[in-house]
A and B are shown apart, each in its own frame.
Chain A
Amino acid sequence: MSQVLATYNIKGGVGKTSAAVNLATLAAHGGDQTLLWDLDPQGASTYLFRVKPKIKGGGAKLVRGKTDADGQIKGTDTEGLDLLPADFSYRHMDLALDGAKTNRLDRVIKPLSEYRYVFLDCPPSISLVSENVFEAADALLVPIIPATLSSRTLDQLHEVLNSDAKVLGFFSMADRRKKLHRELMEELGREHDVLETVIPNSADVERMGAERAALVDFAPRSRAARAYADLWTEIRERL
């Protein structure tokens, strides 16, 4: 069975997609068959992999089992890493999931057992989609920006969490030179179980949009790329 890892945060712009793309790429580099399902109708990770954001028949048919997920998967530039693309229709995913007796995301993922890891790149929200994700995932990877309000993120998540998925928070876009960042990370680290690896704020990560590739591929020696590698090692130890 695959191990399902979802990058999740109720907020957007915190580094979910950047983490999903780099971690999935690292998993494939390690020799494990890996799939990334871009669940965000914005299709940011689909764009980074240069794949067309299109699911035949739309997201509703896919999660209802009317479209075979297998036939929609695309290989990426990285060997061993495949993508189940985003589709604009995913913005109505809640409707497609509503009223179902079973977890429909789970039903799509289960048969894809050839993959050792399945990453879910989630849209920012609390919705039926996230409820389905919580159930389907073995772990939630939660990027946290060390800013005042972000510290509530993990508390809120535990309030809505309906499953026994592991919650692995990690600091994202952090700047150790900023006193506020250091203080917040220390404080949050005391109150919550947060991973040790910190993804630094770095222009290299931003370049992914222009390069349309994973940072760990086009600048593997950069500080941020090495941080993703450490993060992946730490996550695997915690699974």
Chain B
Amino acid sequence: MEVVTHVLPEGADLPSAKASLAEHLDVRADRATSGTTTFYDTFDGRLHAAGLTLRHSGTELVLLDRETGATLASAAAPAAKRLFDRDLPEALRARLAPEMEMRALLPVAKVRTHRLPLAVLNGDAKTVVRLELTTADNGTRGRVTATAVRGYEAEIERVRATLAETLALPEATVPLVDEAIAAAGGDPAGTSSKLALTLDPDEPASLAAATVFGRLLEVIDLNLPGTLDDVDSEFLHDLRVAIRRTRSLQRQFKGVYPERLQHFRDEFKRLQAVTGDLRDLDVYLLDFPELRDSLPEKMRADLDPLRDVLEQRRVKALTATRRALRAQRTGDALAEWNEFVTSRRPSDRTVSDLASHRITRVYRKMVKMGRAIDDDSPAYDLHELRKVGKELRYLLEFFASLYPPEIVKPFVKTLKGLQDQLGRFQDREVQANALRDLAPAVKGHPFTLMAMGVLIERFMQEEIAARAEFADRFAVFASKAQRDVVKEHFG
């Protein structure tokens, strides 16, 4: 149904807004209600990006289309402090789960609102357009929303004309949720952990590196509170990606830093290590439902004792990670690192020169390593190739803005094709080993062990299947065409 929203005059309350509407339209008022409206989104604004608004008011969660304000789904639910997909009422879960994935929905704005539903009537006193007046206590202007009634679509045009022309109320261009979040000091689009950097190719490498490192530190800072509060698993994930990216650039650009770099490399290595167990357990727990479902129906419940073990271990890992991240040493290391990278003198070499050099070197190294791999090579060789591939991936991400997108994008895609295959291969091996390592922890549960055995068998099969794909993926990555591209644009 068509919906139009107009903004009420500054300072207008419900009675005055209703009175001015009633001068021009035959309206019948329903009961006015007041209440707190809470808007939800993930930390990184996934609902915003998907064109959705989730709002709680009264006893109901309502999912709306961001642009039109049309209701997509609603269900009774309390205003929780945090909502995972599994906490959502069925009617909302289907629509939201694919957007949220592992992320939690958090309150992003809370507003005290007053609403008055009105019906616009025809000569038979029948509702032909629904109106809703809304005002909020957060200093933003009130709104009037008109929704067409099926079979009376022509009437909304008349109402729209009354609002826009007779009453001179401007059409609302910013969704209410954005205004509420902005009024609360937030960003409606959420907090991104993406790099999104634009670098100047002629800039000294040390200054460009400081920009990249600075952004990575920012991502670490943004994700630290959510990691410590254990809000959802993605905070730690994004934090660790920023640490890994930092370490990668430290290695690739080590020539820029003749002294003291080792100290910081050691500190970031330590940060990666102290967060590793927790992340591994997060991954096992995130994968758990899928693993369980992949078992034959009657074995599924057998796996549950394993989840208990994982959860117990995660509690311990969380405590350890928190202690390490809260430690004075960690805070000092991050502050000193920031100081270190921002106080560098401009290097002689430009960033485009150094980046191109590193990209070429790492690419060539991968080609060489990959060519040496045949069917008899140990798994280790493939894992090493994947590691170097990650370095190349990060370089292309850091310095994407220095090269034409039509060169970088297909390059990343080819690399990703290879990395995904190597990743599947390694992950299956890691998963199989992890289950083996966990076996003693569930030794009192023979059925659990059997279920784990079934999974290990499957992982090993998939590992073999993934390895078989290697030759094809690598051939594309190391093709003459791709080598020529690297030579021409990065050489």
Contact = CB atoms under 8 A, between A and B. Distances in A.
A50 B125 CA distance: 8
Interface string A121-146: 00000000000000000000000000
A75 B150 contact: yes
A73 B126 contact: no
Contacts of A96: none
Interface string A72-92: 111111010010000000000
Contacts of B119: 77
Contacts of B127: 75-77
Contacts, number: 29
B148 to A, nearest CB: 8
Contacts of A51: 126, 151
Tell me the dominant secondary structure on chain A's binding face: loop
A49 B152 CA distance: 14
B151 A73 contact: yes
B152 A74 contact: yes
Interface in B119-151: 119, 124-127, 130, 149-151
Contact of B150 (A31, A49, A74, A212): A74
Tell me the dominant secondary structure on chain B's binding face: loop
A71 B340 CA distance: 70
Nearest to B151: A74
Interface in A170-217: 212
Nearest to A71: B151
B125 A75 contact: no
A50 B130 contact: no
B237 to A, nearest CB: 37
Contact of B130 (A49, A74, A79): A79
B74 A31 contact: yes
Which interface residue of A50, A51, A73, A82 has the most chain B CB atoms within 10 A?
A50
Contacts of B150: 73-75, 82
A73 B127 CA distance: 14
B151 A77 contact: no
Contact of B152 (A31, A75, A212): A75
B151 A75 contact: yes
A74 B1 CA distance: 12
B263 to A, nearest CB: 61
Contacts of A50: 124-126
Nearest to A76: B127
Contact of A75 (B74, B75, B124, B149): B149
Interface string B243-276: 0000000000000000000000000000000000
A31 B74 CA distance: 8
Given A50-B125, A72-B151, 5 more contacts: A51-B126, A73-B150, A73-B151, A74-B152, A75-B149
26 contacts: A31-B74, A31-B75, A49-B126, A50-B125, A50-B126, A51-B126, A51-B151, A72-B151, A73-B150, A73-B151, A74-B149, A74-B150, A74-B151, A75-B149, A75-B150, A75-B151, A75-B152, A76-B127, A77-B119, A77-B126, A77-B127, A79-B130, A82-B150, A82-B151, A212-B124, A212-B125
